[in-house]
Structure formats: C-alpha cells, structure tokens
Amino acid sequence: MEMRLLGAALLLCLVDVLHAFAVEEKGNVFKRRACPAFLMFENAAYLADMTFELPCKCKPEEVSSVTWYFQKSMGRRKTRVLTDFSGTVIVDSGHIRVGSDMLKRFSIRMFSLIVFRAQVTDSGHYLCGTKSGDLFYGYDVDVQPSRRITVAFLDQGQHIQEDYIENQFRLFTTFWDWTRCDRCGVRGEQRRIGLCYVQSTQLHPRYRTPCGSRAAPPALQHLNNLRRPEVAIRSCVTPCPKKKLPQEGMQAIANVIFKLGKKPWLPHVPVQFHRHPIGRHLTIVCPGARPEHAVAWDKDSVQLYRSHYLVGVKKSMRVFIDHGNHLHIQRVQVSDGGTYFCWRAGESFRLTVIYERRRSRTIYATKIIGTSYGVLSVIFIIIHVCHCCWRSSLTRLPSSSRQKVLPL
C-alpha cells in the first residue's frame, strides 16, 4: 500500500514538472522569434459560421498584453478595437448565436484572437499590437459564404470544379484535409472543404490569395462571384474504439453499487427531452460541434446520410442538414417524434434528443374538437335560418289559400 502511495506521489510531481516546462516553453516562443522589420500579413480563408484562431506570432518580450484591431480594408481611417486594452476578453462560446454582435463573437486568450461563428462581413484585416498603436503581426482574412457552396458526391461519380482560367488570372480550389469518418461500426461519410483562391501575374507568386482578399488589386476583388467554395463527400467505414475497462478501484465500487440494488435505466449518452408544436420550424444543434467537424445525424435506427438529406440535394426538402452540421425540420409533424442521435468525429454518440408527442397529440386533438365544434355551429345556424325562412313564407301566403275553420 505504501509503495502505491509513493508511486502516485512521484507521478503527481512528474506532472507538475511537465506542466511548468510547457508553460516556460510557451513563454519562450516570443524570445526565440523576433518581429520582422515591417508589418507582415498572412492570408487565410474560412467558411461562414466557422470558428478560427489568429495567433499573434511575434511581440516584444516586455509586452505583457496585446490589443487586436480590425480594418475592413487597408487605407481606411476607421479602425475597430476588438478587445479591451488589457487584452483579457474571454467569451463564453455557448451563448453565441448566428447574428450576434461583432464584439460578442471575439475572444482573446494567450495573445491569440478567437473568432466565433465568423460571418462574411468579418472579412478584412486583423492586426495584433498594443494600445499605443504599435503593430506586430497581421492577417488578411476572407470569410466565404456557405449558402452558395457547391457539393460533389464522389460515390455517385460527381467531380469537383475545374479551374477557372482567364488571360490575367486563374481561380482554383484549395482543399482542407478529409475529416474523420463521422460514424463508427456502420457506413459513415467524410467531408473535404475547399475554398476559392486566385493566382495572377498581378499578385506575388509566393503567396496564395483568397478570391475575396482585400490584398488583391481592385480589378480582382470581385472574383469570388465567379467561383463558389465547394465540399466533397465520400463514404467511409471505420471500427468503433474499444471501451476502456474500469480500473480495479472503480470496479470494486461498481460491484458494491450492484449489490445494493440495480439502478433504474440510465442512458449511455446525455439526453434532452424536448417538446415542439406541430407546424413550426425546428433546428437541432449538436453540442460542441462546429462546421469543420465530422458530424452525423440519425433518427432511431435510420441513418440520415448527407447524400439524401444535405440541403440542396432536392428542390423541396422538409428535413435536411445544412453545411453547419445543423439538422432542420420544417413544419414539424407527429411522425417526426422519436429519438435523434448526434455523432461527432465518429467516436461515439454525443447527444440524444427525444421529442415527446404528448403536447403534439393534445394540439392535434384540440384542433379536431375545435373544427368539429365549428362545423356543428355552422350546421345549427343553417337549420335555424331555414326554419325562420319557412315560417316567414307561411305568414306571407294569401288568406284564400288557408283553411277556414267554420263554427258548428
């Protein structure tokens, strides 16, 4: 027993030493890398609704905090400060929604600027510096729209876009790496996101410039209208990872709990019980997932593959998955009730959403009762009007047509 305690203490000491070494190495990054003599801009392109990080790659050692600035295009006097001057803005990404204010979607951590759910309007220049105006590093960011994206299902024989070539420029797609398989144990899917870039004699051949970059000459700044970003999708199969066996101590605790009595049924994944009225639109978000992640959706035992449920596959779709990995259900029906599973990176189920039908049935029954009451009311009014008309017609008959009763 004493040997086990001694081993645990030595392990904790080793972890502390490694942590201190990692922190020291992080601080020494700026000691080894000096800032260039002039301000440099790095080109970067992302898809709308993505979350990305812009590190401040160089700064003087004596600078303890940085300030990030934003300019829509170079030469403009209007410059926006994205962080406080102490460089300590931290944003809770769980409260960020589409359409949130610009300053609510930016956070600074360890001198890096994190942009949550970037929008097309966030395209521009980002500069890292100090509150006094000294600048260290810059980024030319192009956020390309996801609504106009082109999809190629490779299993169906579809191909990616060919290069768009003109006399003065060439538009091409630069693809990211394939994502992990979004499911395990069954057939899954992989995605590969491609963004538009331009090559021209008017640009420096060393740099790859995004199609919507502000660094391009004015004649080339509207090339993003000629070519869309694209995504390639293919099938994949990967085995599920083996579950780790519980440790000896945890197994003993589990045996004690089992002997005390069996617990009621507990799900293996987090569960959210949700009620939604019939006829309205519903959007389900996989917790912790972003557009660049490998995310899949299932309903009960049915796999909702993108080859059938991706937005734009059919002209009219009531249930579809958008390019941000959100599941949409338009005009919710009673048949939509069930258990929805969310896969993330093919590791395991991350979320189970159960739609209770009680409220839906109640609303459906209420509508039937109301409709029946309305029909009966109309029928009653029609009968009453017909009866009144019949009585009025009798009173208008001539006296000769009526039977006369003579006294005896």
The lowest-confidence range among 132-136, 142-146, 345-349 is 345-349
The answer to whether the CB of 35 falls within 8 A of the CB of 59 is yes
Longest dimension (CA), the chain: 134
Confidence of residue 39 (pLDDT cuts 50, 70, 90): confident
Q: What percentage of the chain has pLDDT greater than the value 90? A: 18
The lowest-confidence range among 2-16, 26-40, 80-94 is 2-16
d(CA 226, CA 56): 33
Q: What's the full length of the chain, in residues?
A: 408
Domains of the chain, earliest start first: 30-144 (2.60.40.10), 150-237 (no CATH), 266-383 (2.60.40.10)
Q: List pLDDT tens digits, range 179-197.
A: 999 998 889 999 999 999 9
- Nearest Cα residue to 83 out of 110, 45, 63: 110
Which structure tokens are listed for 60?
């003087």
Task: Mention every residue, 6+ apart, whose C-beta is less than 8 A from residue 97.
Answer: 117
Q: List pLDDT tens digits, range 71-99.
A: 887 666 678 887 654 555 544 444 445 54
The answer to whether the CB of 281 falls within 8 A of the CB of 331 is yes
Q: Which residues of 226-258 are buried (b: 16+ CB within 10 A; e: fewer)?
A: ebbbbbbbbebebeeeeeeeeeeeeeeeeeeee
Residue owning tokens 């006399």: 167
For residue 231, the cross-strand partners are 151, 193
Query: Is the pLDDT score of 405 beyond 50?
Result: no
Task: Mention every residue, 6+ apart, whose C-beta is less than 8 A from residue 143.
Answer: 45, 46, 47, 48, 50, 118, 119, 120, 121, 122, 123, 212
The answer to whether the CB of 229 falls within 8 A of the CB of 151 is no
d(CA 28, CA 289): 33
**What residue type is assigned to position 347 of the chain?**
E
Q: What letter does residue 315 receive in the DSSP assignment?
A: S
